[in-house]
Amino acid sequence: MNPQPLRWTHQPAAASLGRAELAADWDRLNRARGNLPFLDAQAVALALKHFGKGDEVLSVARDLAGQLRAMVVLGRAGKSRWSSFQPSQLPLGAWVADPEIGVSQLSRSLVRRAPSSLCLALSLTQIDPRLAPREPDSSGSQALDYIATGWIEVAGDFDSYWAARGKNLRQNLRKQRNKLAAEGVQTQMRVLRERGEMRALLERYGALESTGWKGQEGTAIHPDNAQGRFYLELFEAAAARSEAVVFEYRFDERTVAMNLCLLRAGELIVLKTAYDESIRTLSPAFLLREEELQQFFAPGSPVQRIEYYGKLMDWHTKLTDNQRTLYHHTRYRWSWLKRLVESRRQRQADAQAPQEDSTALASTNEPDSRINSRSPT
């Protein structure tokens, strides 16, 4: 059976998501498909406010009966190209849809009814296959891997979970705790949720980020930059709904690690992690995670699943065997255009091939924690 056609309308995104009726429509679709707190209308509106260019468009789809089926925030990705709004602060692309609407149907319909008169390609970015299963490529569409990411199912007791972790990890953390005790250092885990605590917490978080490469590059959270203002407003709003959870780990009175999390319907999403990178002989972030997990696995804990949504790192694999791959999806207006793009990419790859031997060794030494996967178009 062919899917019912979608009719699209377009309007300025920032102003539209600030309207109560459209925000409620967006949130209703979000609840039906994932119910992610960072994809609430308010969160997306904050991202537009602090990171948008100002020309983003909210595209709204209804079926022939007038029922709301999908909403997508689009930004220009180049001449005659559009992409879902995707600041780095949002783990997934800014769109919501009825669970019955697949990615292919959404993109096939929207590429021909995009905000501009001629859209040659449209990309939906950083899609979670758990929420929108990856469909086979077609003559006019292509999916590309973005990143692998991990999660933890919180089931059973902590001792059983921890016993299944690597022996080296358990022994290493035990030695670190013995070392801290021998030196008379008191460790403390603080769990903070109140709206009035968020400003001071984010200031301490920013100070932690400043001890590492983000401080050197000027991208650490600060009360006076866009990141700092975004996260403050996001977490103050989440705290007002009892969905903000910040874990702070201390050595005596010194903050050494923090996790900024959102908790909704049993799912804890770790949005940001920072630790004091000046500490070389200990792993404050892992000490924090161990105590977090003890709380999550305790009887009566509201946490049933932990989602990281960041690029899968070695430390993730020490805590979980679970992983899945987020992906980008690009739809071309015509199938011949996809073939043309693929041919051009192949020519570029062939032209660069002779240089690979001389650069391969250097490229393997680059830090991968700051390198994103391929762009969707």
Q: Domain ranges in the chain? A: 7-147+326-364, 155-303
Q: Which pLDDT value is given to residue 362? A: 33
User: What is the DSSP secondary structure assignment for residue 133, as one 8-state letter?
Assistant: P
What sign does the CA torsion over 192, 197, 203, 206 have? positive
Are 50 and 234 within 8 A, CB to CB? no
Q: Which pLDDT value is given to residue 219? A: 74
Nearest to 345 by CA among 376, 308, 366: 376
The CATH architecture one would assign to domain 7-147+326-364 is 3-Layer(aba) Sandwich (3.40)
Please, where are the H alpha helices in the chain?
A: 13-17, 20-32, 41-51, 103-111, 158-163, 167-182, 198-209, 213-217, 226-240, 284-296, 314-319, 335-352, 356-364
Residue 233 CA, chain-centre distance (Å), reads 17
This prediction's pTM: 0.90
CA distance 230 to 232: 5
Residue 154 CA, chain-centre distance (Å), reads 20
Q: Which pLDDT value is given to residue 2? A: 64
Tokens at 290, concatenated: 């161990």
Q: How far apart are the first and last CA of the chain?
A: 30
Q: Which pLDDT value is given to residue 372? A: 37
Nearest to 268 by CA among 327, 309, 208: 309
Are 210 and 220 within 8 A, CB to CB? yes
List, for the chain, all residue ranges whose pLDDT scores fall below the cut of 70: 1-2, 215-216, 218, 354-377
Tokens at 11, concatenated: 């309007």
Are 223 and 206 within 8 A, CB to CB? yes
Amino acid identity at 19: R
Q: Tell me the longest C-alpha to C-alpha distance in the chain.
A: 71
Q: Counting beta carbons within 10 angstroms of the beta carbon of residue 40, is it exposed (0 to 12), middle (13 to 18) or buried (19 or more)?
A: buried
Tell me the fold of 155-303: Aminopeptidase (3.40.630)
Whether 7-147+326-364 and 155-303 share one fold: the answer is yes
CA distance 198 to 232: 7
CA distance 255 to 172: 21
Q: Which pLDDT value is given to residue 284? A: 97
